[in-house]
Structure 1
Amino acid sequence: MTERIKPGTILIKEGTPLPEWLQFESEHYSSGWRSVTNLDAHGLDRKIGEAGWTFFFMAGEVKATVIGSDSERTRLRAAKNLIVNLQADRSNQSNTFNCLEIAHVAVKRFLGTPYVTVSAHPRHIQESMFLFHSENHTEWDRAKLAAA
């Protein structure tokens, strides 16, 4: 069995707007999320850029740790906890992102108890080159220019 959760793995929120011609393989990961199976972060970034879209990278790293041996099941649990933690964090704009890039998977022991820590960076796919630039901002910008 291949590892689904490893550095470079991309998880995409279901329903994320994408360029029409962009094709990639994915599989259901957890409620509302899909795992890209045939591209890593670099490959997906390249394809999105070719379409004229932007794949934003946020430097802030998020982590989740679960107790258990180094198995795929433990890695999946840690990644699911990471998603839950991001969605629960309302003080951070991370919950508005539509992708996650797995950065590190660390397997360690504390007093003989194994645990796995998964680290990730929030990412965001959108057509505009301005992060979270929406139609409302565009209308506001036009009104501001007209008033000047």
Structure 2
Amino acid sequence: MRWASALAFLYPHHVAELMPSEDLEAMRHHRNELQTTRKAGDFDRGHKIALKVIAMRSRLGEDVYQVMSALAFASQNGVNPALQQRIRQAGEGLTEAVRQGDLSRTDAAKSRISDLYREMRRDQAEFRAPNRQTVRPEKSAR
């Protein structure tokens, strides 16, 4: 339910212009319903709504998911600064192309962001957190 709730927030926030209006409204409605069911502890109903959100994610396609994910990670400083800047610039180009109704530029921008998404995923896979070690102050020698 948490992941579905996150998706229901992130899609309208980052890729509203790529979604059919009925899907956009449904996603927003599902987000509110998921919040309500979680607060009420109605997990059976919440699970059913979550399945609807996940089905909608599938219907919207992997390319839109990748665009949304890349834009979301970039907006949350979840990628290195250079990649973050490239994702944001590509996102601005996508928004401009959609607003102008330029389908070829829209497709090119989506493709560019999908490439950046794959680069982001490679960086995340290669990241190795440092080993945690307990720090013990040494007794000073007298």
Fold similarity call, TM over 0.5: no
- Larger strand percent: 1
State the TM-score, normalizing by the size of structure 2: 0.29
Larger radius of gyration: 2
TM-score using structure 1 length: 0.28
- Identify which of structures 1 and 2 has the higher relative contact order when contacts are C-alpha pairs closer than 8 Å and 6+ apart: 1
Q: Which has the higher helix share?
A: 2
